[in-house]
Structure 1
Amino acid sequence: MRGTVALASLLLIAAAESAGAQGYQQFTRWCFGDASPEQTIRGCDAVIRWARETPRDTGTAFYNRGLAHAAKGQLDRAIDDYDQAIRLRPDFADAYNNRGLARRLRGDEARALEDFDQALRLDPDDVDALYNRGLALTGLRQYERAIAEFNAALRLKPDDFDALAGRGAARRRQGEIERALLDFDQVLRVRPDNVVALAGRCAARATLGRLPPALADCNEALRLRPGDLPALEARGFVLLRLDRPDAALTDFELVLKAVPRTASALFGRGIARRRTGDPPGGNADIAAAIALQPDIADEFARQGVSES
């Protein structure tokens, strides 16, 4: 009898171990293979918790979970995971690159630039990191350096239409509107659904006073990618020039909900608030924008929008 009980116990243990092994295999497939963000997070949670993998593979698990958190808009969690991936894999260029992306989306261009610099130290020919460094430099208003980064990306990959659109955006911000339009038009002839180029051309056309086609570009960009922040900001600017401050206010508020410390969106919302009967709120926004970027009023004036 005792032998029978002992045998039954061993069989139960073996069955449990087999089920556990099968379950872990499923988690590893979710963590390291193609899966939804939710499945990736669940799978990598298990891989990290059970600690069966090498430090390098555990670093990859943190990285993959970070990508999944970023896809869900959970940027702080994504950054925490990229931190752990880099701790375990200090040579992980992709982790630096994606941590920089998350930091950019949080409005921290300076720290994002540090990450892109490190990614490029590890892999100097990483076209994505060159492109991302160009975006960060544009955000930091270092336009000549940004254009150089986009040109470097284009030398490595001449058909990189995102880099071409990024160069157009830097040129537009620098005031080279016609050259920016050439870049945007070149992209859109081949990739009419390129949202970066559509949003950039919208802003460039608005600066030149071509308001109806500018609005059409922004609307198309937002149809293709609802909630795109550059397109929302550019459309807000167009709507101000079309004397539609209520609609402009809505667009600027959406931008600021995602990235509260955006000087141009704060300034634009301030103007919209003044024009819709809220001078105190408008004044507060404009003061906050000037604190972030002292020449923001001059930048708007060059584009045909005054504070009043």
Structure 2
Amino acid sequence: MRKITFLLFATSILTTIFFLTACGNDHPADQDADGPVLSGDDEIDQVSQRLAQDPNNAELYALRAEIFYEKNSYDQAIADMTAALSLDSVNIDYHHLLTDIYLDYFRSRLALQTMERAVAIAPEDIDSWLKLSEIQLFLKMNQASLASIDKVLRIDPQNALAFFFMGKNFEEMGDINRAINAFQESSEIDPEMLDTWIKLGQLHASIDGNLAEAFFDNAIEVDSSSTIALSAKAEYLWDQDNPQAALELYKIAIRKAPMDEKSYYNAGLVLLELDSIPQAYQHFTMAIENAPLYAAAYYYRGYASEVMGNTQQAIQDYEHTVRLAPDYVQAREGLDRLKK
């Protein structure tokens, strides 16, 4: 099944396609009088050499685009996908791959337009409607997203992911009761959908804390190794003024995923609240070791150092925070406080 993803993007696919196709013969065959221009990457160059022999092969352009995409070479991937689509404009898989590239390259409007073309070409393709709905959801086009979901449910009335996206739309629109109903329908169709149980727990926590914990437990039962499910329940317990229980869940999450910086960071925050400052310092240090650019972890490690009276370490961490995030107000305030 084709990957369904989302992120935010901008600009216009038509401009990109016009420009790249207008460049025509200069683009992807990558050859001069002596043969293809090689990049030095064996995997890419092998496909380039094949393209030099077969320059009208759409599959080869798509293959090379996927390799470029995996290597985060987005411009080259987009150029190759444009060439592939110019040769095979009705290939839905190509539309999905180009959309994924645009999404990861922060080009949401281009991704949107690509999927709009895909559903126009294949109006019965459920994956395309779902991906279009998800992109519309992220672009705050809630009514359009719900309309796309309606298309899915006309084809497949028991599509759990469609009901999940419906719930997300209603949640964003502030209609919590309809959101809960949609998520509930999704969970009944597919009880193994982890995110649905988490959303039900979070929404019930916002209106009725007595029911929320059971939904978080269902999520953990679906996947006991999921740090997302464990952290969601921990956050709920913390909000319910039970930081010790929250801390135990964060510790479980750390044991299951020792490279997950977020669990160390959250555990550190709970430890600060519990006045276990040295332990909090250690957890923030582990978060930093796993994610050296984690500005908030530097700030709170600095704060822990300040509380323990280690002024020099606190200043170093506050300064590092500001280097990573110049607008981090609390870190600047900490520096002003300590330097004065």
Same fold per TM (> 0.5)? yes
Q: Residue 52 of structure 1 aligns with which residue?
A: 87
Query: What TM-score results when the alignment is normalised by the length of structure 2?
Result: 0.52
Relative to 1, partners in 2 of residues 1:130 and 1:140: Cα closer, same or farther, differing over 3 Å? same
Task: Pick one of 124, 130, 145 that aligns with 1:97.
Answer: 130
CA contact (8 A) 2:58 2:87 kept: no
Query: What TM-score results when the alignment is normalised by the length of structure 1?
Result: 0.57
Task: Pick one of 107, 117, 131 that aligns with 1:84.
Answer: 117
Task: Pick one of 200, 212, 224 that aligns with 2:232.
Answer: 200
Task: Pick one of 239, 242, 245 that aligns with 1:210.
Answer: 242
Q: Residue 20 of structure 1 aligns with which residue?
A: 54
CA contact (8 A) 1:37 1:69 kept: no
- Equivalent position SS for 1:213: helix
Relative to 1, partners in 2 of residues 1:224 and 1:129: Cα closer, same or farther, differing over 3 Å? farther
Relative to 1, partners in 2 of residues 1:196 and 1:167: Cα closer, same or farther, differing over 3 Å? farther
Q: Residue 219 of structure 2 aligns with which residue?
A: 187
Q: Residue 14 of structure 2 aligns with which residue?
A: none
Task: Pick one of 143, 152, 158 that aligns with 2:185.
Answer: 152
Task: Pick one of 70, 82, 89 that aligns with 1:36.
Answer: 70
Q: Residue 116 of structure 1 aligns with which residue?
A: 149
Aligned-partner Cα distance in 2 for 1:133–1:235: 33
Aligned residues: 239
1:26 Cα deviation after fit: 1.9
CA contact (8 A) 2:158 2:189 kept: yes
Q: Residue 8 of structure 2 aligns with which residue?
A: none
Deviations 1:91-124 (A, max 9, x none): 3332232233234445555544443333333432
Aligned-partner Cα distance in 2 for 1:130–1:90: 19
Deviations 1:153-202 (A, max 9, x none): 2332233333222222221222x223111111122134123344234313
Residues 1:64 and 2:97 aligned together: yes
Matches within 5 A, 1:133-152: 133-152=166-185
Which structure 1 segments of 5+ residues have no match? 1-11, 252-271, 279-308
Task: Tell me the amino acid that sits aligned with residue 124 of structure 1.
Answer: P
Relative to 1, partners in 2 of residues 1:46 and 1:17: Cα closer, same or farther, differing over 3 Å? closer
Percent identity between matched residues is: 14
1:37 Cα deviation after fit: 7.3
Aligned-partner Cα distance in 2 for 1:203–1:114: 33
Relative to 1, partners in 2 of residues 1:250 and 1:17: Cα closer, same or farther, differing over 3 Å? closer
Which structure 2 segments of 5+ residues have no match? 1-34, 36-48, 278-283, 285-294, 298-327, 335-340
Deviations 1:261-302 (A, max 9, x none): xxxxxxxxxxx979x979xxxxxxxxxxxxxxxxxxxxxxxx
Relative to 1, partners in 2 of residues 1:16 and 1:149: Cα closer, same or farther, differing over 3 Å? closer
- Equivalent position SS for 1:56: coil
Greater CA deviation, 184-193 or 72-81? 72-81
1:135 Cα deviation after fit: 2.4
CA contact (8 A) 2:102 2:108 kept: yes
- Equivalent position SS for 1:62: helix
1:80 Cα deviation after fit: 3.1
CA contact (8 A) 2:133 2:149 kept: yes
- Equivalent position SS for 2:124: coil
Relative to 1, partners in 2 of residues 1:80 and 1:112: Cα closer, same or farther, differing over 3 Å? same
CA contact (8 A) 1:85 1:95 kept: yes
RMSD: 4.8
CA contact (8 A) 1:171 1:179 kept: yes
Aligned-partner Cα distance in 2 for 1:112–1:150: 16
Q: Between Structure 1 and Structure 2, which shows a larger proportion of helix residues?
A: 1
Which one scores higher on RCO, CA 8 angstroms, separation ≥ 6?
2
